[in-house]
Amino acid sequence: MKWMRACLLGLCVPALALPLSAQSQNNLDFLTGLPDYRQVRSMLHDYLMLQAVRQLDERGKKVEQISTPEEVAKRRAYIREQMVKDLGGFPQMTPLNARVVGTLDRDGYKIDKVIFESQPNFYVTGNLYLPKSGHPPYPGVLFPLGHEEGGKSNADWQQTLGEMARRGYVGFAWDPVGQGERVQLYDADLEAGKIPASTAEHTDMGAQCLLLGDALARYTIWDGMRALDYLISRPEVDAQRIACTGNSGGGTHTAYLAALDDRIKVAMPSCYITSWKRLLESIGPQDAEQCLPPWIEQGLDHGDFIIAFSPKPYLILSAIRDFVSINGARETYAEAQHIYSVLGVPGHVSQFEADNGHGYSEPRRVAAYQWLDRWFKGKADESPEVPVAPASEEELRCTPSGQVNTSLGGETVFSLNEKRYGEIRPHRRQLITPQAVEEFREQIKDKVKQLAGYEHANVELNVKPFGTIQKDGYHIDKLTYRSEPGIDIPSLLFVPEGGQARMPAVLYVNSKGKSAGAAEIEAMVKGGMVVLAIDARGWGETGPNAEAGERGQLFPNYGVAMIAMLLGKTLVAMRAEDIQCGADLLASRAEVDAERIYGMGVGGGAVPLLHQAVFDNRLKKIILQEGLVSYGMAESYKIQRGIFESIIPGVLKEYDLPDLVAVLAPRPVWVIDATDPLGNRVAIEKVRSEYAEAMDAYKLSGAADALRIQVTEPADEFSATYRGLK
């Protein structure tokens, strides 16, 4: 639409909006800089941190009270049960179809280049390091990789694996998804990934996984378990002497695999083990591969990976000057000492610290060699490490092109996710039939509460005024209201002057903030409607500072969204509570007709508004402008932009956004300029296809015209598009 395009491009808007748009941003964003509200941008994060710390402290007290081996065993079983549940279960065991595609002869060892299938046609590339001296079968070392460039060809990994082979260990490293030869979004023309950073690609894939009720680690852990299947299938390897070690992201997967796979006898994660409390206080949640919602709500922490592995030998390798908190590592080690003492084997757990930074540096490598020797050979080999001449990336490649995508094809995480969605979608869609709309409405309410963590807000609004701006024909009251303790919502109340005693009102929720959408707001106000524009938590003035890099561009608000999910909550449900309290405020105003309160969600604001409308019959009309057309469409898009904060884990097993519209029948709902997961406008035929069941529900209700689906043209005026809103 002409007025919308002007706003988006930052050009001058039509004359109708000039008085409002002329207001300075600081004037409308009125909390910024006030002494009592200097931390408004950290409000959401601080709120989540308080809850996280409370839950983690409660968890810590429970672990402190463990006093018998039986209690340890009970917790160990609980940890594993919850991990598998959080991952979404594992794929079926299928043939590896493993093959060696080449061998490199190195000084003191050789390297087999291996390809196997962790799932049918889901190819994994790896390097197996074999000793050239000693007597097989040798102990085996599973070596999951960190996020450093080069995948398995990284020089530090080669140094570690080459030295282990010289010392009589068979080591196996494989490319994780998103790295090395397994870039999932590889572009042959660019000869690079469409998303440069592997961690950003992980989070992109993780968005799809979460919507299905899975974690991305479902794929990466399964790759590791199948890598172990291959490792112990080799005649050179003693299957009873298997260790696992890796650094950073490889430390993550060492912790994961050791907790879940009993075949691993010794674990040595490097630069990973800390605690969630210290992690959240410092760098925050890392990429989606390293987060298992709702981990914190389940009463779990880093120490539980060690408990799940106990009483087997566990070495925590730490860096004092790491960005991974050393204090958290020390606290978790102290907790592990308590557990291992209860089990009567205090010497089976240890921590090694080096006064350096992040990485599998020589001091930690040497400590790892000695820990391995202690448990697998009975005594430590204290000989110094010998430098390894690294092979080139090309030499270590398992595929001709250096990418599975172009050399082998096969499945990707995206194609496997799409297949999983295809399996659950028909079952979910059968829930809504023309004979069962009312029944489905109640089911939806239960599922929203269960999956999104929705709770009915029941607090004193505690409205605080911050001044009034007088305009031509209306005024703007600046105020805040409280939606729950610790959350104050900055708002602008636009009130026409000289109109009816009680006027219709619009609750306006724009993910760009309350001061966005000047043209829409002023048109509605001058049309005789009260408008309450709010900054739902995490947006507008309450939005955290932008994250840098690819993740910040593609997944704004990722940090707080992931913390919420780890707590068993979602930003969707919390923002729905903000919207409910906004409706409470409007209904309490003398100038508002409480029977004519409407909701308008713009951009990301459409999703929480739609969820709130399912519970709030006071919202008599719902306008969804430029909102995500459906969650399901994200399963067919390899890249998403801006949808992470709208994710509800497991939602696609139960409902989708068009289903929520269906249960609102016969209330008027306008779906205007719906967008795809990239934020682009969807063709009207596609929108109607996505909303076919909703259209049927409205026909059944005798209100077919109440569901309005429209894609506007650039020349369309706001007043024409929204004629009939009042």
pLDDT at 468 over 60: yes
Show the CA angle centred on residue 242, arms to residues 241 and 248, nearest 5°.
150
Cα–Cα distance, 524 to 726 (Å, whole number): 9
- Tokens 């409280």 belong to which residue? 482
Edge-first strand listing for the sheet containing 237-247 = 99-106, 109-119, 122-131, 170-174, 138-142, 237-247, 266-270, 314-319, 349-354
What pLDDT is recorded for position 554?
A: 85
Residue 315: closest CA among 279, 345, 270:
270
- What is the per-residue pLDDT across 74-118, written as a single tens digit (0 to 9) for each? 999 999 999 999 999 999 999 999 999 999 999 999 999 999 999
CA separation, residue 232 to residues 236, 237, 327, 617 (Å): 8, 6, 37, 61
- Decide: 179 and 145 in contact? Cβ < 8 Å: yes
Show the CA angle centred on residue 604, arms to residues 602 and 609, nearest 5°.
70
DSSP conformational letter for 425: H
Cα–Cα distance, 293 to 272 (Å, whole number): 18
Structure tokens at 330: 């020390």
DSSP output for 300-335:
--THHHHHHHTTS-EEEEEETT-SS-HHHHHHHHHH
- Tokens 């050239």 belong to which residue? 132
Residue 159: closest CA among 369, 350, 355:
369
CA dihedral 135, 139, 145, 151 (to 10 degrees): 20
Work out the pLDDT band at 360, boundaries 50, 70, 90.
very high
- Please name every residue paired with 503 in a beta bridge, in sequence order, or none if there are none: 592
Residue 606: closest CA among 530, 494, 682:
682
- Tokens 């005594």 belong to which residue? 379
Phi and psi angles of residue 103, each rounded to the nearest 5 degrees, phi first: -140, 135
What pLDDT is recorded for position 7?
A: 32
Report the phi/psi class of residue 626: left, alpha or beta, with left for phi > 0 and alpha for psi in -120 to 50: left
Residue 688 burial by Cβ neighbours in a 10 Å radius (0-12, 13-18, 19+): middle
Sequence-distant (6+) residues with CB within 8 A of 303 are 63, 275, 332, 335, 336, 339
Q: Looking at 42-46, 107-111, 441-445, which range is the least confident one? A: 441-445
DSSP output for 44-110:
HHHHHHHHHHHHHHHHHHHHHT--SHHHHHHHHHHHHHHHHHHHT--PPP-----EEEEEEEETTEE
- Decide: 551 and 197 in contact? Cβ < 8 Å: yes
- What is the per-residue pLDDT across 515-546, written as a single tens digit (0 to 9) for each? 998 888 999 999 999 999 999 999 999 988 76
Q: Looking at 213-222, 272-281, 432-441, 594-603, which range is the least confident one? A: 432-441
Query: Percent of the chain, pLDDT > 70?
Result: 93
- Decide: 448 and 454 in contact? Cβ < 8 Å: yes
Domain ranges of the chain: 2-53+432-721, 69-421
Edge-first strand listing for the sheet containing 592-602 = 464-471, 474-484, 487-496, 530-534, 503-510, 592-602, 619-625, 669-672, 707-710
Mean per-residue pLDDT, 263-270: 98
3-state secondary structure of 717: coil
- What is the per-residue pLDDT across 182-212, written as a single tens digit (0 to 9) for each? 999 988 878 888 888 888 899 999 999 999 9
Work out the pLDDT band at 550, boundaries 50, 70, 90.
low
End-to-end Cα separation, the chain, in angstroms: 20
The amino acid present at 49, given as its one-letter code, is M
pLDDT at 433 over 70: no
Residues in the chain: 726
Residue 230: closest CA among 212, 248, 242, 220:
242
What pLDDT is recorded for position 456?
A: 83
Backbone Cα Rg of the chain: 28
Average pLDDT, the chain: 91
What pLDDT is recorded for position 25?
A: 46
Q: Provide the total of helices (H) and of strands (E) in the chain, helices listed first.
A: 26, 20
Report the phi/psi class of residue 707: left, alpha or beta, with left for phi > 0 and alpha for psi in -120 to 50: beta
What pLDDT is recorded for position 213?
A: 96
Mean per-residue pLDDT, 555-583: 96
- What is the per-residue pLDDT across 388-427, written as a single tens digit (0 to 9) for each? 999 999 999 999 999 999 999 999 999 999 999 999 887 7
Work out the pLDDT band at 723, boundaries 50, 70, 90.
low
Model confidence, pTM? 0.93
- Tokens 């507008």 belong to which residue? 540
Structure tokens at 30: 């009125």
- Decide: 180 and 192 in contact? Cβ < 8 Å: no
The amino acid present at 344, given as its one-letter code, is G
35 versus 463: which is more confidently predicted?
463
Phi and psi angles of residue 398, each rounded to the nearest 5 degrees, phi first: -100, -15
What pLDDT is recorded for position 37?
A: 77
Considering the four listed CATH numbers 3.40.50.1820, 3.40.640.10, 3.40.50.300, 3.20.20.80, the one that applies to the domain covering 69-421 is: 3.40.50.1820
pLDDT at 725 over 90: no
Cα–Cα distance, 84 to 214 (Å, whole number): 10
Cα–Cα distance, 180 to 150 (Å, whole number): 5
Fold: same for 2-53+432-721 and 69-421: yes
What pLDDT is recorded for position 629?
A: 98
User: What is the CATH number that goes with domain 2-53+432-721?
Assistant: 3.40.50.1820
What pLDDT is recorded for position 9?
A: 24
Number of C-beta neighbours around residue 660 at 10 A? 21
